[in-house]
Amino acid sequence: MADDIPARMVFAGRRWKVTDTPTRLCHSIWVAPREGNAGLYGWRFQGTDDDGLSLVFDVFKAEHGWHVHRSYE
């Protein structure tokens, strides 16, 4: 995170740099209800790895850190 906005992450053994403007997501977009999800939020952003592969990620913050909910080509 840089200024509370995603900047980079590690996913599937690769380092990904955020290469667009992240969009903040609220709890209403998550498919499965989660207990106590009133504070659930996340981000959607494009990440690009060192090989130039770009994916779009939906990530959410949970009790034990950030998790990738879904990735898109």
Cβ contacts of 42 within 8 Å, gap of 6 or more:
24, 25, 29, 30, 58, 59, 60, 61, 69
pLDDT at position 65: 87
pLDDT digits over 41-71, tens only? 799 999 999 999 999 999 988 888 899 999 9
Q: What is the mean pLDDT of the chain?
A: 86
Contact (Cβ atoms closer than 8 angstroms) between residue 42 and residue 25: yes
Tell me which residue has tokens 């403007």.
21
* Pairing status of strand 23-26 against strand 14-18: unpaired
pTM: 0.82
* Higher pLDDT pick, 9 / 33: 9
How many residues are present in the chain?
73
